[in-house]
Amino acid sequence: MTINLLSDTVTKPTPAMLGAMMRAEVGDDVFREDPTVNALEERCAALFGYEAALFCPSGTMTNQIALKVHTRPLDEVICDEMSHIYQYESAGYAFHSGISVNLLKGENGILSPELVDAAVKPRQDWLPMSRLVVIENTCNKGGGSIYPLEKIRAIRAVCQKRGLALHLDGARIFNALVETGDTPAQIGAEVDSISVCFSKGLGAPVGSVLIGNQSFITEARRFRKVMGGGMRQAGYLAAAAIYALDNHIERLKEDHANARLLASFLAELPYVANIRPVQTNIVIFDLVAPATPTVFLDFLKKNNIIASAFGPQTIRFVTHLDVTKAMVERVGEVLMRAFF
């Protein structure tokens, strides 16, 4: 048995999800004739209180399309230095949109309204135009950190005052919502667009959705085609996403409990330091020398446990649908045997 803590993207469809996929009614989505894709888009738009949505192959694509629609070349997007659009999207903001990023240092990836307000450039010919703010909820590199709703509202107020749009990278938004008790519509009311991923904790094999008003999604659909994201019988994938919405949201709390259990085991180890606050399903911690990520990860691999280095002395564990409490307890037993 392999215990895979590498990422929540390693989840595989459950037998019930596969059954839903096989039963899906499909058509050609480029012609908007796939009824299952249409149903998913309509459901997601309504869930977050919007007019329309667009199903895409990945969260990177939905984020990049959002940047493209919200900005013009030579503009600037304001985001945290830990933001996925900066760290993990291959500088797509520059390639696709011809824009730059203004990186801020928040608290575990969470920006304050004061930081955002101070970062907005004055209107000068020689400066990039601040046009968009992007927040990530939860923040991956921040250890699955959550934006409180009141903070999102305060950032929204700054954006409205300064004439900026606000995009939410909500790849793991349901991890945040099951912890805070906020509703999708409450979040949707405070931002201009949202990207939601189905292939992480929700357990679908492929797909993200971009949500916004009708004119935004009309333009987004064109850029999806430009970026090669138009799919044909995508209803098989959309069916998995619908199944996830029906069955896998509340169970995210189990992943969070398992992450907290992992953190409690780590807290007892002399070779572990600086465990980041665990709010959802991500556990980030540092190793104390002479322990190194290479040696530590090799030790785990020999014990059929997979994880990832997240910095020169940093490790990340991610819990998900395919990691049970018994598996986490097994990891704890293995960690106690490690000596450096």
Tens of pLDDT along 82-121?
Answer: 999 999 999 999 999 999 999 999 999 999 999 999 999 9
The pLDDT assigned to 340 comes to 67
pLDDT-based confidence at 46, cuts 50/70/90?
A: very high
Q: What is the mean pLDDT of residues 222-249?
A: 98
Whether 320 contacts 281, CB under 8 Å:
yes
The pLDDT assigned to 127 comes to 97
Mean pLDDT of the chain: 98
pLDDT of residue 338 exceeding 90: no
pTM over 0.85? The answer is yes
- Percent of the chain surpassing pLDDT 70: 100
Report d(CA 296, CA 74) in Å as an integer: 44
Q: What is the pLDDT of residues 2-45, one digit of tens each?
A: 999 999 999 999 999 999 999 999 999 999 999 999 999 999 99
Whether 212 contacts 191, CB under 8 Å:
no
* Domains of the chain, first to last: 14-247 (3.40.640.10), 251-336 (3.90.1150.10)
Q: Which residues pair with 145 in a beta bridge?
A: 139
What single-letter amino acid sits at 41? E
pLDDT-based confidence at 339, cuts 50/70/90?
A: confident
Report d(CA 135, CA 271) in Å as an integer: 33
pLDDT of residue 314 exceeding 90: yes
Paired sense of beta strands 75-80 and 129-136, if any: parallel
